[in-house]
Amino acid sequence: MGDELLITDDFLPVPVPETLTATYLVPMRGLPRVSPRTAVTALAGRLAEPAYGLARQMLASPLMSVDTRPIDEFPALPPDLLTAFGATREQLGRLAEATHVVVVRAEYRPGWPPAHEWAARAVAAAVAETVDGDVVDVFGLQFLDPATALRSLPDAQGRVRLVDWVLVPYSSDADGLWFTTKGLRRFGLLELQTQGVPDHLTRAWGAVLTGVASRLLRTWTDGLAGEEVPAFVQLPVLTTVTGHDIAVAYGNPEQHGATAPVLLRLELDPATDPEADSFLSLHPPAGHPGAPGRYFASACATLFSGIQPDVRYARRGDAMSKAVATARAALPDVRARYRAGALPAEAQLVVKYGLPGDDGPEFVWAAVTSWDTPERISGTSASDATIDPEVRIGTPVVVEATDVVDWALLGPTGVIEGGWTQAVLDSGDHPR
């Protein structure tokens, strides 16, 4: 469209699709009880602008279609993939009993706001409410109850949580974990991928990738702000991610995560199969020594504060001693929760333990990978030790429970529980 393709070492030209399509389904027994327009009108006062206005406008325009079909005429949805993306037995049961499906489709140009997605999801949720049914997001192969679908739409300040629109599945291979995003193509952007991520970073790297997606999506939509859709948007080859980016992506901007930025290199990985998707791959910066997994582990240690090594001396009766006692008293309970799978879904359990040294102990953190017996914890080091050159980020370690002085649950925006000794260190109430 008259755009000049500028290729430099600093920017990567990413092609822009001409139009984007969103598709949502509402399976139900029988036919709809009310019209889509009546269903959307019932959202007045509950759904903020601009989503409410977009839903009404697109519903009345050729940009959206709402059709009711016998479910046998619609391609069957794969139950195994639906289950993998969170479908419950009850939701799959309602799908199996459905006789009809309402199909909501919308088209729009790439840019912000993503009117096709917001409007189609709002209309589908409104229809589902009238029949006490479910919404199926065809792109993400996800079931959404109407309340969850409506909560994912922008609030009165126009804010959305990217985690409600972008998933981060992963799989394992010989080189570690392979992470991809699933959702950026809703906005016209290629999906991200990272390969060779250490196994113990399943939750942490998922959060990092979501933070990178949030930052790149802002750059992407800024490049689409003109009146005409450009043929390409230039993305920086070297992109940064901070704790703030992660906090924003998870809808917690007040937990601004003031961390040092982490650099990642962006590379276009075009698909060789015409039916397959191309990706934007994330790598360590050029010239980084060692395996990529080591860089990724170091990046997580930077972005999720509270897991750095330290050398401290606790005096009986001081604040540090009380912090250690508090943490150790809670060890049996956190082990029981860990073993029962009762920790928060996005939390990583880490423990802090001491390594003996000539000048006193050095305390380092390890991510727990198994805790079969109360006395011994298996994990991977979450930090590099100064005293012991064998203890490096990502290396396997075995920790005696008697050596543990603290533990913490790390979430996408930092410590969500525990970390008592770190709190003392951060407060300045303990001598260094």
Q: What is the pLDDT of residues 332-381, one digit of tens each?
A: 999 999 999 898 877 889 899 888 776 667 888 888 989 999 999 998 88
Return mean pLDDT, the chain.
86
What is d(CA 271, CA 269) in angstroms, rounded to the nearest whole number?
A: 7
Task: Look at strands 11-15 and 20-28 and give their pairing.
Answer: unpaired
Higher pLDDT, residue 93 or 6: 93
What is d(CA 390, CA 395) in angstroms, rounded to the nearest whole number?
A: 8
What is d(CA 54, CA 113) in angstroms, rounded to the nearest whole number?
A: 10
Assign domain 318-427 one CATH number from 2.30.30, 2.30.31, 2.40.160, 3.40.50: 2.30.30
What is d(CA 104, CA 121) in angstroms, rounded to the nearest whole number?
A: 8
Among 30-39, 44-53, 254-263, where is mean pLDDT lowest? 254-263
Q: Which residues of 363-396 are buried (b: 16+ CB within 10 A; e: fewer)?
A: bbbbbbeebeeeeebebbbbbbbebeeebbbbbe
Residue 253 binned pLDDT confidence (cut-offs 50, 70, 90): low
Identify the pLDDT of residue 263: 92
Domains of the chain by residue range: 18-160, 163-304, 318-427
Ramachandran assignment for 409, one of left (phi > 0), alpha (psi -120 to 50 degrees), beta (any other): beta
Show the tokens assigned to 354.
Answer: 């001491």
Count of CA atoms in the C-beta half-sphere (13 A) of 295: 18
What is d(CA 308, CA 430) in angstroms, rounded to the nearest whole number?
A: 16
The answer to whether the beta carbons of residues 392 and 384 sit under 8 Å apart is yes
Identify the pLDDT of residue 397: 87
pTM given for the model: 0.72
